[in-house]
Amino acid sequence: MNRRTALSLFASVAVAAVALFATAPSAHADALADITKRGTIRIAVPQDFPPFGSVGTDMKPVGYDVDTAALIAKKMGVKLELVPVTSANRIPFLQTNKVDLVISSLGKNPDREKVIDFSDAYAPFFNGVFAPADVKVASAADLSGKSVGVTRGAIEDLELSKIAPADATIKRYEDNNGTISAFLSGQVDAIATGNVVAAAILERNPPKRPEAKFLIKNSPCYIGMNKSEPALMAKINALLAESKKDGSLTAIAQKWLGAPLPADI
């Protein structure tokens, strides 16, 4: 092998390598095209966070997030591949391109917004004051003269202690079960808790049905995707808007949280 052929070989390898590296990102620049070409969408869902995602009696994942993932896949016309994740590894799974979307009760915060993008909200997640329909409460001031059960030390306890009027009685229980029992046995007029806990109460079909009266802290769930995927983002948001309009997303909310989607979603 003379020097010229060696040089040209090296050059062609270099060109090929550059071409490969240059095309590699562009192949992923449009995740939507990838998904369509693959015919499968890979979605990260929780497996240990009911009612958003847990393992059902037949060992298959079930929950709000799982149903939402199925809805998205159906509307996109592709096959669904569920990838179980934990709350700690859901964002790394997305960043390392092991999944296309994260539908895993993901809340928005500035740190996360630096590394991934968020769609529109698809599920309500909030702390608030809940009471039966006949208890007239619309704001913290209306709690005057009423008793509110809360789990001691929880975020609702700390926030409610600041905003409740002086003549409202806050009863602090050791854990969520104590708070729930106090509500169901009528020991308190209202409870401050998460909408997921309220959903767990509704699931038991109790004589007293907790309704959301006002919000203490609102942190709805969003679908997470990699940064700079405008096509995928537009598609997902369009599908979410369509699902909200045709009632399919509200049906999921009704099924898993026992309440329709709130107005802000």
Partner 1 sequence: MGYQFEFGWIVEYLPLIVSGIATTIQLIAVGAVAGILLGIACAWVRALGPVWLRPPVVAYVELIRNTPFLIQLFFIFFGLPSLGVQMSELQAANLAMIVNLGAYSCEIVRAGIQATPRGQFEAGASLAMSPFETFRHVVLIPALQRIWPALSSQVVIVMLGSAVVSQIAAEDLTFAANYIQSRNFRAFETYIVATILYLALSILLRQALRGVGLLLFPRRAP
Residues that bind partner 1 (CB under 8 A): 149, 152-153, 157-158, 171-174, 178, 181-182, 185-187
CB of 80 to partner 1, least distance (A): 42
Task: Tell me the closest approach of the beta carbon of residue 172 to partner 1, in angstroms.
Answer: 6
Residue 98, phi-psi category: left (phi > 0), alpha (psi -120 to 50), beta (remainder): alpha
Q: Which is nearer to partner 1, 77 or 207 (CB)?
A: 207
Minimum distance from CB of 154 to partner 1 (Å)?
A: 9
Residue placing its CB nearer to partner 1 in the complex, 130 or 222: 130
145 neighbors 188 (Cβ within 8 angstroms)? no
Q: Of 13 and 158, which CB lies nearer to partner 1 in the complex structure?
A: 158
Q: What's the half-sphere exposure (Cβ side, CA atoms, 13 Å) at 208?
A: 20
178 vs 262 by CB, closer to partner 1: 178
Q: How far is the CB of 181 from partner 1 (least distance, A)?
A: 5
DSSP string, 203-259: HT--SSPPEEEEEEEE--EEEEEESS-HHHHHHHHHHHHHHHHHTHHHHHHHHHHSS
| Residue 84 φ/ψ, nearest 5 degrees | -70, 135
3-class secondary-structure state, position 115: helix
